[in-house]
Each structure stands twice: as structure tokens, then as C-alpha cells.
Amino acid sequence: MEETQPSEFQFEIEQVFLFEDRGTAISGLVELGTISPGQAIDIHGLHTKRHGLIEAIVMSGERVEQVEPGHVCTLLVTSLTPGHIGPGMLATHRGGERHKELRERVPRQYDSLAA
């Protein structure tokens, strides 16, 4: 059986929350592709990239198993802290991003988060 690669995924972060005992939640708009719980993502800053794992997806107050382009949702992500990510940054499938294009889209005001 042929293994399929995940479709290109792009999510623009609008808000970031920290839930004690659960992790970091990022909310925003799915611009491209699909994603499901258990998939790995990269968060892109101007000069940095962070890694996380989708633990859960919430849309309209309900947990869902997948989101698609145009959906506004919240992703509960492990291995990330709000101090390193912010609104305007982009999330993609791990390893599936187009680096140069994404770096050009990330607002310069997040340069200070690259520490």
C-alpha cells in the first residue's frame, strides 16, 4: 500500500492561550489543507521555527477530528509555550512548509520572539 503524504497545511494564528495542565492553544483560520489530532506541526516566526503536536482540535465549542480550509478553530498543541509564538505567525505540517514564502508572510514585529 502506498503511503500518502499530508496535504500542505497552513494556519494563521490569531490568538494564543495557555491552559494550565493542558498546554498551549492557538486559534485562527485554516488557510490551506487539512489537519487532525496527532499530527506534528511547525510554528514559523521571522527567524525561528518551533515544533508542536496537535493534541485536540476545537471548533464551535466541540472537539472535531479534522479541519479544512476556511474553518476557524482552536488547536491544543503540546511542546509549545505562548512566550515563543504570537498572532500573525503561521503553523504548517512539520516538514511540509515552503520556507521562503512563509518567512516573507510573518510580520516583522515578531522578530523579538526568535530568542
Give the start-to-end residue ranges of the domains of the chain: 10-108
Q: Do the Cβ atoms of 5 and 92 come closer than 8 Å?
A: no
Q: Does domain 10-108 match CATH 2.40.30.10?
A: yes
Q: Specify the pTM.
A: 0.78
Q: Which residues, 6 or more positions from 100, have their beta carbon under 8 angstroms from its beta carbon?
A: none
Query: What's the pLDDT score for residue 77?
Result: 94
pLDDT by 10s per residue, the chain, length 115: 344 444 588 999 999 998 877 789 999 999 989 999 999 999 887 677 889 999 999 999 999 999 999 999 999 998 888 887 888 888 998 876 455 565 555 554 444 444 4
Cβ-contact 73, 91 below 8 angstroms: no
**Which residues are within 8 A (CB) of 69 and not within 5 positions of it... i.e. 6 or more apart?**
30, 31, 32, 33, 34
